[in-house]
Amino acid sequence: MSTANCATAIGRPRAFDVQVALEKALEVFWEKGFDGASLSDLTSAMGINKPSMYSAFGNKEQLFLKAIEFYKNRPCGFFKPALGQPTAYKVAESMLMGAAKSMADNSHPQGCVMIQGALSCSEAAAGVKEELIKYRQQSEDQIKDRFELAKAQGDLPESVDACNLARYLNTVMQGISIQASSGATEEQLIDVANLALASFPAGKGQ
Amino acid sequence: MSTANCATAIGRPRAFDVQVALEKALEVFWEKGFDGASLSDLTSAMGINKPSMYSAFGNKEQLFLKAIEFYKNRPCGFFKPALGQPTAYKVAESMLMGAAKSMADNSHPQGCVMIQGALSCSEAAAGVKEELIKYRQQSEDQIKDRFELAKAQGDLPESVDACNLARYLNTVMQGISIQASSGATEEQLIDVANLALASFPAGKGQ
DNA sequence: AATGTTGTGTACCATTTGGTATGAAAAATA
DNA sequence: TATTTTTCATACCAAATGGTACACAACATT
């Protein structure tokens, strides 16, 4: 049951690339959600059969969680780079524009799998729903921390409630996810992002 | 196959109230989504058995659509009253505050079933997903029309793009739905709503 | 070449899925 | 009371669900 691709492997080697299979599974979960994605959907997209899936990933729930983990860390993610922007305003701008661009991108399912993967769901998905809620809260907390830092640096007024502002930013991004999965285009979402930025306490000049 | 409760009914009368059963079904769909709600979940919540459900509502998909129709028209809905507010700003304010209050209300599942009922879903739910997208678009169009009217009345500047502003408002409400279903409280969502209102082109005075 | 270890493919498992056939039960009408 | 019409309850259906047993295949080590 070794998931990692060890250099000196003993026994029959895997005939598939675990990472590639995980990406394929991610696409299925992304499009259909946890409840809507059946094992047949998953394994046929991954190009493997069920025993291989179970031995490599555990079960459907763990496969989902590992796919989400990959999603969080994938190189094209817009979140972490946005957090690193020099000013609070630029953080928000980069995040909203990144969300608009990324979520409307049709090289993969629209919207965000961390939002849509298990929103209203069966009891079987209750675990992954809780996990996704936790992840979303962590993102919000990271934004909040970044805004607290901005306040300490004088980049945001002391009067600003970093917690509320972070929640607002997160809320708009989540709305953008819904819009994207409903068919909104990148341009439309950029307009939304610009309107949302008008609420931002620090002006565009900063 | 008469759905309506006719006064002079011939044959054995229904042992259940169609409207009450529909409300129960709505709650299940609301909480679990179309894919996550099984017929067993539904019929046991409705207090009837499957043949009764099929004869009264058609099938799972039509039951869902009828439940959504009921949801749209239910008396406690905040959307239509908000549209009737006298100014564009008050429309937006009423809508956002109504969303914050309604979606965090724990007398029913959190969030909005028209958003979460079928977002990422299986092929079996593709039809209801499209229907929900259409409904959401109709809501947005109604807001847009209201803002166009506001422009004609001089209540909004001519420079405002009613379409973008409506989409922004809709986006924030959809984000609020996600937040609510993630456990956000009414107070938190009101704070979000107030931040969102800061983007509004017409000032609070209007 | 024999052995130990691990992955693969098939075929299978019990359970659940959405959906029905059928006969009995309850009412209005005749 | 007999008939007609409709609903109810049970039992059932084929297909799909998430998950596994098991024999075999492929590799490293001995």
pLDDT at res. B199: 84
| Interface contact A120-B113, CB threshold 8 A | yes
Would you say the C-beta of B156 is within 7 Å of strand D? no
| Interface contact B37-A164, CB threshold 8 A | no
Angle at A133 between CA A180 and CA B123, to 5 degrees: 45
- Please state the three-class secondary structure of B102-116 as a single string: HHHCCCCCCCCHHHH
pLDDT at res. B73: 94
Phi/psi region, residue A122 (left: phi>0; alpha: psi -120 to 50; beta: rest), is beta
- Please list every residue in chain B whose beta carbon sits closer than 8 Å to the beta carbon of residue A197: 199
Q: Which chain A residue lies closest to B196 (C-alpha atoms)?
A: A199
Instruction: Say if residue A48 is exposed, middle or buried (CB neighbours under 10 Å; 0-12, 13-18, 19+).
Output: buried
Query: Using CB atoms, which residue from A32, A170, A179 is nearest to B120?
Result: A32
pLDDT at res. B117: 98
Would you say the C-beta of A10 is within 7 Å of strand C? yes
pLDDT at res. A119: 98
- Please list every residue in chain B whose beta carbon sits closer than 8 Å to the beta carbon of residue A191: 161, 164, 167-168
Q: How far is the CA of B51 from the C1' of D10 (A)?
A: 11
Query: Using CB atoms, which residue from B36, B109, B161 is nearest to A125?
Result: B36
Q: Which residues of chain A have pLDDT under 70?
A: 1-8, 203-206
* CATH numbers and ranges of domains, chain B: 18-72 (1.10.10.60), 75-197 (1.10.357.10)
pLDDT at B203 over 70: no
Nucleotide nearest to B36 (CA to C1'): C17
Residue B199 tokens, joined = 């983007």
Average pLDDT over residues B169-183: 98
pLDDT at res. B83: 98
| Interface contact A178-B171, CB threshold 8 A | yes
Q: Which chain A residue lies closest to B132 (C-alpha atoms)?
A: A182
Which is more confidently placed, B14 or B201? B14
Average pLDDT over residues B156-181: 97
Q: Alpha carbon of B156 to those of A120, B82, B83, B147: distances in Å?
A: 37, 17, 15, 7
Average pLDDT over residues B43-63: 98
Residue nearest to nucleotide D5 (CA to C1'): B11
At residue B197 the predicted structure's pLDDT band, cuts being 50, 70 and 90, is very high
Query: Using CB atoms, which residue from B111, B120, B171 is nearest to A175?
Result: B171
Residue nearest to nucleotide D28 (CA to C1'): A10
pLDDT at res. A120: 98
Which of A171, A177, A179, A188 to mutate to test binding with chain B, by most B CBs within 10 Å of its CB?
A171
pLDDT at B206 over 80: no
| Interface contact B171-A176, CB threshold 8 A | yes
Q: What is the pLDDT of residues B76-126, one digit of tens each?
A: 999 999 999 999 999 999 999 999 999 999 999 999 999 999 999 999 999
> ipTM of the predicted structure?
0.94
Q: Which of A54, A87, A103 is nearest to A157 (CA)?
A: A87
